[in-house]
Amino acid sequence: MGMHANGLLRACMVAWLAVAAGGAAAEPFRLIVTHLEPPLVPNSVMDLAVELGYFDREGVEVELVRVQQTPSAISALQAGEGEMANIGVDALLQLVAQGGSDLRAVTSPNKALPFLIASKSSIASPADLQGRSFGVGRVGSLDHSLSMKVLGAQGVDTSKLEILALGQPPVRAQALAAGQVDATTMSIGVWLSIPDKSALSVLVDQDAYFAAAPVVNKVNVVREGVLAARGDEVRAVLRALVKISRDFAANPDGWADAMVPFSAGADRATLGALAATFGASWSVNGGMSAEELSATQEWLYQTPDFAGLRAVELGEWVDFGPIDAVLAELGTDASGDPAGR
């Protein structure tokens, strides 16, 4: 084979390797979520960042992988079926406490469930709940534990409440509307869906609820290996989520308009009303307040599911580095979502 032929072969090999390398770099960044359609909460920013091109504009191709519930998301992530997953903080902490984990929380697109406490309108204040009936999903459920914390902070002796296990929020809402229970916890979405609220009122709104129980419900985690190998893409994903959260915080109607195609069960007026309640809920700084994450960890260790588990340090499950790099570039937003470390 002549020198020209050898040179041509080498050139072809170099071109092939470049294409192969480019193809590897272009592999989608897979984000595992635990909802099958965009939810009617700020967590929908992950779906809408795909639909509205926020990820594309940051130069990262994001593919959503949909599973049901946190255990499936963790299994998929550990099996290499995704690079990032949105999971419950309680499950993450249990993994770490039971033997270590290489998963690290890097952001929280929606820190808290949008809970509120609704009651019969004859109950003017939380103090008036003393001795009344309170509906929960089940004894020991998240809504039960959090609501007792919230009411305790309001000075209510929760040991004197009559706790009724009623099941899912829509069922509890129906029981409240029918006068079968004096008060219960539900999401803002369920509250807005009650057809006739004339005999009902919001006893503790969602901002006051989170202020009394600043428990971060879900975080986005990545494996340490992904941080090392695809750190630029991780930061691009976080940058897109911060930007879309800030845009919706500044223009709630933008969220309502974007959700119309995905919300067959809610009309535009309901979506607009929902958007108006999310004012302080957008993770405009990434949702990674060290104080709130520490408070979440402390609270979880007081629940029965953590009895006997070893105490863990914040650094064992949180990595502030990626979001801090994003905020160093974009600046912090003083309108909400504390970014304290």
- What does the pLDDT look like over 58-110, one tens digit per residue? 999 999 999 988 999 999 999 999 999 999 999 999 999 998 789 999 999 98
Whether the CB-CB separation of 171 and 135 falls below 8 Å is answered with no
- What does the pLDDT look like over 308-321, one tens digit per residue? 999 999 999 999 99
Calpha distance 117→185 (Å, rounded): 4
Q: Which residue has the tokens 């084979």?
A: 1
Asked if the 115-212 domain carries CATH number 3.40.190.10, the reply is: yes
Calpha distance 11→26 (Å, rounded): 22
Read off the tokens for 247: 């845009």
> What's the pTM?
0.82
pLDDT exceeds 50 at position 129: yes
Mean pLDDT of 109-114: 83
Calpha distance 123→202 (Å, rounded): 10
Calpha distance 281→255 (Å, rounded): 13
**Residue 290's pLDDT band (boundaries 50, 70, 90)?**
very high
Whether the CB-CB separation of 189 and 209 falls below 8 Å is answered with no
pLDDT exceeds 90 at position 296: yes
Query: How far from chain centre, in Å, is Cα 157?
Result: 30
Ranges of each domain in the chain: 27-112+216-330, 115-212
Check residue 337 and give its pLDDT: 87
- What does the pLDDT look like over 197-247, one tens digit per residue? 999 999 999 889 988 988 898 999 999 999 999 999 999 999 999 999 999
What is the β-pairing status of strands 218-223 and 84-88? Answer: antiparallel
Q: Which fold has domain 27-112+216-330?
A: D-Maltodextrin-Binding Protein; domain 2 (3.40.190)
Q: What is the mean pLDDT of the chain?
A: 89
In a 13 Å sphere around the CA of 334, the CA atoms on its Cβ side amount to 0
Residues pairing with 118 in the sheet: 184, 202
Check residue 26 and give its pLDDT: 65
Q: In Å, what is the CA distance from 302 to each residue of 34, 185, 297, 323?
A: 26, 21, 9, 29
**Residue 326's pLDDT band (boundaries 50, 70, 90)?**
very high
Whether the CB-CB separation of 38 and 66 falls below 8 Å is answered with no
pLDDT exceeds 50 at position 14: no
pLDDT exceeds 70 at position 176: yes
Measured from the Cβ of residue 262, the count of other Cβ atoms closer than 10 Å reads 16
- 27-112+216-330 with 115-212: one CATH topology? yes
Calpha distance 337→327 (Å, rounded): 12
Check residue 189 and give its pLDDT: 82
pLDDT exceeds 60 at position 2: no
**Cβ-count burial of 132 within 10 angstroms (0-12 exposed, 13-18 middle, 19+ buried)?**
middle
